[in-house]
Structure 1
Amino acid sequence: MGATVAAVSSNATYSFTKPTRESVTLLTGLGVEGDVHAGTKVKHRFRVAQDPDQPNLRQVHLMHEELFDELAKDGFTVAPGELGENVTTRGIDLLGLPTGALLHLGDEAVLEITGLRNPCRQIDDYQAGLMKKVVGRDASGTVFYKAGVMSVVRRGGEVRPGDAIGVVLPEGPHRPLRTV
């Protein structure tokens, strides 16, 4: 079985979690229709405070459902949308993709991966201790981020749970993901 969309989520107001939906519509160059983080300029509160004119490289947040399985082994219960992602995936190594990879979701939508999600401390407000499970240092001291990837919408379209996900890697040397 190939990579699929496990769930889709959106929220019109600032909230840590996003309710799951039957479908979401991705709008070219903007993000998820009706979602608080949609737009050409940055929408995340921390980044707006730094510079409201930054381009929005975080239009659509994707997270791999396998992370929820991993967290469950440590006693955390997390479901799609609860960590603020718009698209929950299954069967794709999101964190291993290079910058610029294209994800084809369903029949029409195309996302371009811009980088890793750098989660905020609200994760610990949601469930105490969760931040250490999604951001930390490995045995060699290298920082790791597991809270998904960010993307921009290159081609809009409707996305539903069960939609197939296709990956197109960029040409040339691949650039590893960095936080955006």
Structure 2
Amino acid sequence: MGNQGTGRSEVVAVSRDRDHHFSKPVVDEVTLVEGWGVEGDAHAGTTVQHRSRVARDPSQPNLRQVHLIHAELFDELEAAGHSVRPGLLGENVTTRGVDLLGLPTGALLHLGEGACVRLTGLRNPCQQINDFEPGLLREVLGRAADGSVSRKGGVMGVVVAGGVVRPGDAVRVELPAGELEPLSPV
């Protein structure tokens, strides 16, 4: 299951920002810290760091330590007339060759030599995406053929094994045991 598409499953880019900005600058490498998130990123921590969630209850566990987006989304957005590159939507890790949105809750993403992220849910795209680029929200938040809400803004996870992650690193997927539960917004 390590390669769900054609070609190699890999990290395309990594990003982090010490401040709470919508976009994150692309860097050469990030260090994932077990139970914490991306070292030096504003969203790292054991409790919630996203401003809207802190305002509601700052003691909630941080299920959004790492934000991952599949580069195939950028291809889709470009075809719809938008120019989006890694880091611009605020993700920490951009992948290619992994169907992130199709993975179940609890799936493990092994990144590079030793880092591992457990998926906790879907990113719930919000108005900030339209503030970044008008019309982009309707491209990443829509309706599926069955009428359900379709969220394409990436997935969220927590770090279960630390390590350095760089562009070009392999991504290997490990599914959880038992009944698979689809990702839902966190």
TM range (shorter): over 0.9
1:124 match:
130
1:153 match:
159
Distance in 2 (CA, whole Å) between partners of 1:72 and 1:139 is: 22
Distance in 2 (CA, whole Å) between partners of 1:104 and 1:47 is: 28
TM-score by length of 1: 0.99
Does residue 8 of the first structure (1) align with residue 14 of the second (2)? yes
Does residue 28 of the first structure (1) align with residue 41 of the second (2)? no
Distance in 1 (CA, whole Å) between partners of 2:160 and 2:126 is: 26
Equivalent of 1:87, from 76, 90, 93? 93
Question: Displacement, 1:110?
Answer: 0.5
Post-superposition CA distance 1:96-124 (Å, at most 9, x none): 00000001000010000000000221100
Distance in 1 (CA, whole Å) between partners of 2:36 and 2:165 is: 15
For this pair of structures, how many residues does the alignment match?
A: 180
5 Å matches for 1:1-180? Answer: 1-180=7-186
Distance in 2 (CA, whole Å) between partners of 1:37 and 1:50 is: 16
For 1:125, the aligned partner's letter is: D
Structure 1 unaligned runs (5+)? none
Larger deviation: 135-144 or 120-129? 135-144
Once the two structures are aligned, what percentage of the paired residues are identical? 62
TM-score by length of 2: 0.96
Post-superposition CA distance 1:147-167 (Å, at most 9, x none): 000000000000000000011
